[in-house]
């Protein structure tokens, strides 16, 4: 296979290209354990959560406005937080001033 020109790759893609020869197969036992771990991590798990009643009512109102169950909204917020995708609107406004 002809190598891809470095000029058209971003840094992450170039790192992959540079290290392609170092790739190796995962042993079957290790692959099986990894796949099992991934399956378990992707399973939804029930939790009990205590929160202020006013906050819960506000979340229920927001979820209703969005047309989704409130538990789905809470799960989405938690997922966005742990993946770093939750943004503080006030921080965004500091960077991108909105016309007022």
DSSP annotation string for 5-58? PGGGS-HHHHHHHHTGGG--PPPHHHHHHHHHHHHHHTS---------HHHHHH
pLDDT of residue 6: 47
Same domain, yes or no, for 68 and 91?
Answer: yes
Distance, CA of 71 to chain centre: 18
Whether residue 72 is found in the same domain as residue 27: no
Greater pLDDT, 3 or 22: 22
Reported as a pLDDT band with limits 50, 70 and 90, residue 3 is low
Residues 90 and 54 in one domain: yes
Average pLDDT, the chain: 84
Is residue 99 pLDDT above 70, yes or no? no
Residue 35 has pLDDT above 80, yes or no: yes
- The reply to whether 39 and 51 lie within a common domain is no
Residue % of the chain over a pLDDT of 90 = 36
- Residue-wise pLDDT tens digits, 44-83: 889 999 999 999 999 999 999 999 999 999 999 999 999 9
Domain count, the chain: 2
In which domain, by residue range, is 59 found? 47-100
Q: Are residues 5 and 33 in the same domain?
A: yes
Residue 89 to residues 3, 77, 92, 97, Cα–Cα distance (Å): 44, 14, 5, 11
pLDDT beyond 80 at 7: no
């Amino acid at each position: 296979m002809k190598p891809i020109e470095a000029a058209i790759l971003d840094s992450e893609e170039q790192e992959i290209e540079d290290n392609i020869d170092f790739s190796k197969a995962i042993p079957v036992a290790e692959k099986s354990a990894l796949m099992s771990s991934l399956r378990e991590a992707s399973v939804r798990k029930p939790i009990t959560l205590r929160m202020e009643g006013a906050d819960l009512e506000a979340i229920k109102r927001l979820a209703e406005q969005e047309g989704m169950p409130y538990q789905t909204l809470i799960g989405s917020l938690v997922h966005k937080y742990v993946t770093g995708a939750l943004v503080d609107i006030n921080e965004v406004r500091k960077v991108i001033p909105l016309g007022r």
